[in-house]
Structure 1
C-alpha cells in the first residue's frame, strides 16, 4: 500500500471516530491512535479484515471434484446412472442428469461406451419413444430426455430423430410436456411441426402483463413458460414485467420456490435461472443464490434438490447448470 493510500485510509478512519464512539452497540473500545506505529497497526488490522471477508473461491474446485466423484459413483454395471446412491438402478432420466452435470463440472464418464449402450437400449424402434429403462414403456417426458442425452453424448442422431419427432408431435398434450419437449427439439436443432399450436396453448396461460402464474408461484411459472416460448421461436411479451416477476421471486435464502411453499428448491431455481439466462439477465442477488446452492451440498459430494435433502443426480445437475449460467462470460 502506498504512503498516499495509507494516509487516505487514516484520514477516513479518524473522520468517523466520533460517529463510531457514539454507537452504544459498537463491539469494542476504540483506541486513541496518534503515532505512526499505531497507524500501521490499524492498516494491518484493516487489511486482515478485508482478506478475511473475501469469498473463498478456492474451495470451489474441491467441491467440483467432490461432485464429479459423487456422480461417477452412480454409474451402474449396465452403463446407466442411478438417481442416487440409495436407488442403485439405472434410469434414463438420471443418466441424462449425470452426463450433463459431469460435462458442466469437467468430469469424465467412467465407462462412456457402456453409457451410450444403455441409452440406445432404452429406445423403442416401433414406438419411436424412449423409456426410463430398457424394455420399459415410453412416455413424452422420458423421450425428450432421451433425445437430449443422445445430443449430450454426441451420438449419431439419425436413428432417432425422425421417429422421435413423430412420436412427440403426436403425443404431447400438457404444458409440462410442451416445456420439456421444446428443450428436446432445441437439442435436435429442429422446430417441431406443432410449434405454433403449442405456442397458442402457452399463450392461453399468460397473464395480461406477460407473466405466468400468480402470487409466490409466478417466478416458477413464468420461468418455465418463457424458456418454452423462446425455444419454440415465439415472442416474449412484456419482457420487463417478465424479468421483474422472476427476479422478485428470489427468497430470503437466495433460491426460488414453488407456490405456497416457504422453502426454496433447486428445480424451481433451475427453471427461473434458465429463463433469466436466455433473456441475458441475472437474479438480483447472485451471492445469495450461491449461498443457497451451497446449503444444498452434502458431505458425500452431491447436492440434494433442497436444503437438507439427500444427494441425487438431479439435484447435482441443477446446481451444475445454475453455476454454469452464473459463471458464463
Structure 2
C-alpha cells in the first residue's frame, strides 16, 4: 500500500477528532511497523521509506502518529537529541535540518515534537514564543504558531493581535476569508486564543454545508482530502458540533 507520512498523520488525527473506532490490531501493528522503519540511526525520522536524512517535520509527524496510536518512539533520548540539534539559538527558532534556516513552520514542528516527547520547555519555551511574536504575521503562520503553543501549554504574549488578524477577515454573514477552509482555520485559532466566535450558528451551518458527498472536506476541489478534513473536524470539535459522521467514517 502506498502511504504518505502527511496523509497517515492526517488520518490518525481525524480518527481521534471524529472519535471513530481505533485501528484494529492488525492495521495498528502494520502502521507502527511503517512508522518505526522511518526512524534513522540519529534518532530522527525521514518522510518516506526511501533512505534519506532525518527532518524535523517528519520527526514531529511520526511522534504525533505514535502518540495517536498509544505508542512511544524507540531510542527516545536519541530522538530528543535529534530535535535539539534543530534548535537555532541565534534566532530562538527551529530549523528543518541542522544548518538550515528557521521559519514559523519548522519552529512549530519543533515545539510539537517537544510536546510529543514531553520534554521540559525551560530551554525553548520563552525563545520560541518570542520567535513567533516576531515572525508569525500571515494568517497561515499564526494558525501554525498557535497550534504549536497550544500543544505545549504556552501562551502568546500578543494574543489580541493574533485574534484581530483573524477577526479582520470576518464576513458579514459570520464566516471568515473566502470559504469553509478559511473559516475553520479562523475558528480553531480564535478558540485556542480564548476568543469568541460570533454568529456561531451561521458559522456551523457554513461548515456543515461544505461537507462533500464522500463524507470528507476539501479546500478547492470536489474530492475530499485528509488535511482539509482534519482542519474542518478540528473546528467542529472545538465548537462542540458534528458534521454527518456516518459518511465521514466510511
TM bucket by the smaller chain? 0.7 to 0.9
Q: Whose Rg is larger?
A: 1
2:182 counterpart of 1:221: yes
Residues 163, 179 of structure 1: alpha-carbon distance in 2 compared, 3 angstrom cutoff = same
User: Over the residues paired in the alignment, what is the CA RMSD in angstroms?
Assistant: 1.7
Aligned pair partner of 2:38 in 74, 89, 99: 74
State the match for 1:119 in structure 2: 83
State the match for 2:212 in structure 1: 251
State the match for 2:133 in structure 1: 169
- Is the 1:219–1:256 contact (alpha carbons within 8 Å) kept by the matching residues of 2? no
Q: CA deviation at 1:61?
A: 2.9
Q: 3-state SS of the aligned residue for 1:235?
A: coil
Q: How many residues align?
A: 230
Instruction: Show structure 2 runs of 5+ residues with no match.
Output: 1-20
Aligned pair partner of 2:241 in 274, 281, 284: 281
State the match for 2:47 in structure 1: 83
State the match for 2:225 in structure 1: 265
- Is the 1:74–1:88 contact (alpha carbons within 8 Å) kept by the matching residues of 2? no
Residues 138, 87 of structure 1: alpha-carbon distance in 2 compared, 3 angstrom cutoff = farther
Q: CA deviation at 1:86?
A: 3.4
State the match for 1:235 in structure 2: 196
Q: 3-state SS of the aligned residue for 2:59?
A: helix
State the TM-score, normalized to the length of structure 1.
0.67
Distance 1:58 1:255 in 2: 18
The residue correspondences of 1:7-18 to structure 2 (distance < 5 A) are: none
- Is the 2:125–2:154 contact (alpha carbons within 8 Å) kept by the matching residues of 1? no
**Which structure exhibits the higher relative contact order, with contacts defined as CA atoms closer than 8 Å and separated by 6 or more residues?**
2
Q: CA deviation at 1:146?
A: 0.8
Offset from partner CA, 1:193-231 (integer Å, 9 cap, x none): 2211111111111111221234xxx22111111111111
- Is the 1:255–1:269 contact (alpha carbons within 8 Å) kept by the matching residues of 2? yes
Q: CA deviation at 1:87?
A: 6.2
Distance 1:275 1:87 in 2: 36
